[in-house]
Structure 1
């Protein structure tokens, strides 16, 4: 009996161990505590120096690395040659002594429809051209020049203040061509008067070119002008007792409406931006 009891104790002990093991397995493996380092949160106020230089329109980011290594760039008066150096947007960054602006320059061309005014806001609640390009950029873009409410056609928007000033200054002679539809046929003698130049209420005016549009009635005229005076095209024809029924700007500073439907916009190509610079 004693032997049997002894053997039974061994079996019982073995069962207990198996039971405990099975309970441990059911609970799952013990968790090993490991404290991983928290990922570093990037400072939104910091920007890589090469990106800062590239966004300023000086060159590409790859070329910026070359210029930085060569010592062309200073930050707060100190020459920086370190790759990957970060700066704050408030830092004073210069390239060959010229102060840089890190905001990426953008250029958007709109084919403006009627019944939109060229302003950033309107107290009377009228629709503005800003509504039409609201999804074009996160930057604050401003129209270059103006088109009145009933005039359609090309309107450029940009955050490049220097270029905007050049494109609107009369001395640069920016080429603008309009398709004009009048309430009646333009007489040959009036066409000649426009070509020779008119004297309006605010002084003399000379157009670059004016002609009938081939294959269209003589009430449709093409006119090229570089004056930036307010409502100048309408005023030219009103001076000669014509009403302008439709006015459409078809060319502005070498830009055209090709593949750009009315009410739509597009970003300028790199070549177009270069061409605008060459036109200055």
Structure 2
């Protein structure tokens, strides 16, 4: 792929704008030698205004989604794409969230431009567990773990029971829940079906990939081994 098209596809500007960047000498190699549009250089050797080029197509990002942001491209309020550099909205292929977290849920959110990978992660067949920590309005009764693991729990307005989910009680009103589906407001509705109300909800891991100490609102690209870790068993 020609450099102008490559850089334009990464959202740095239109092809005309990128061509102008070349003419202005803004695109160089790591040693500061100016590059030209017809040069053939590895992706990792390209610098724009001294900064490394964004990762190529096939990117996977992890973000610590803060409260109040929605997983939407267009919303009247704050959206998760506002937390990324503006050029990430213009990438081709487009960058999409891997599933969604609602406005009132924080924690690990993934983005990718790889459609096949996205569908592999969210497919119930893949059994990729999403682990959430919930604080509840009332003390747990004690039978929620058995109920959620039964595979018979039916949510209101649905006709198919939920797949078994694993509950870990952390405190009388705090629990960790691992689910392999992604139904609408699933965790909140599961606790509602058990007669409780979720006050705060935070996703701590997806498969074997943990959020770790990434600050709220921060993001970073994942290395290949971290992407592979998504398909490992959920962390305890």
Verify same fold: TM over 0.5. Answer: yes
Q: What's the secondary structure of 1:155's corresponding residue?
A: strand
The equivalent residue for 2:176 is 222
Matched, 1:251 2:205: yes
How far did residue 207 of structure 1 move?
A: 2.9
Of 54, 60, 85, 1:134 maps to 85
How far did residue 45 of structure 1 move?
A: 4.8
Aligned residues: 181
The equivalent residue for 2:58 is 105
CA distance in 1, matches of 2:181, 2:207: 13
Correspondence 1:229-248 to 2 at 5 A: 229-248=183-202
Matched-pair contact (CA < 8 Å) for 1:163–1:277: no
Cα root mean square deviation, aligned: 2.7
Of 86, 102, 122, 1:148 maps to 102
Query: Which whole-Å deviations, capped at 9, do the CAs of 1:147-170 have from their partners, x for residues lacking one?
Result: 111011110011111101111111
Of 33, 44, 59, 2:4 maps to 44
The equivalent residue for 1:120 is 73
Flag the 1:128–1:46 CA change in 2: closer, same or farther, 3 A: closer
Query: Larger radius of gyration, structure 1 or 2?
Result: 1
Flag the 1:192–1:110 CA change in 2: closer, same or farther, 3 A: same
With the length of structure 2 as denominator, give the TM-score of the two structures. Answer: 0.69
Matched, 1:209 2:166: yes
Q: What's the secondary structure of 1:205's corresponding residue?
A: coil
CA distance in 1, matches of 2:141, 2:127: 28
Q: What's the secondary structure of 1:263's corresponding residue?
A: coil
Correspondence 1:1-280 to 2 at 5 A: 44-45=4-5, 104-122=57-75, 125-134=76-85, 137=88, 139=91, 140-197=94-151, 198-201=153-156, 202=158, 203-213=160-170, 217-276=171-230
Query: Which whole-Å deviations, capped at 9, do the CAs of 1:94-116 have from their partners, x for residues lacking one?
Result: xxxxxxxxx62211100111111
Matched-pair contact (CA < 8 Å) for 1:178–1:223: yes
Q: What's the secondary structure of 2:85's corresponding residue?
A: coil
Higher relative contact order (CA 8 A, sep 6+): 2
Q: Higher helix share goes to which structure?
A: 1
CA distance in 1, matches of 2:147, 2:114: 38
The equivalent residue for 1:92 is none
How far did residue 143 of structure 1 move?
A: 0.5
Matched-pair contact (CA < 8 Å) for 2:148–2:165: no
With the length of structure 1 as denominator, give the TM-score of the two structures. Answer: 0.58
Q: Which segments of 5 or more consecutive residues in structure 1 lack a partner in the other structure? A: 1-41, 48-83, 87-102
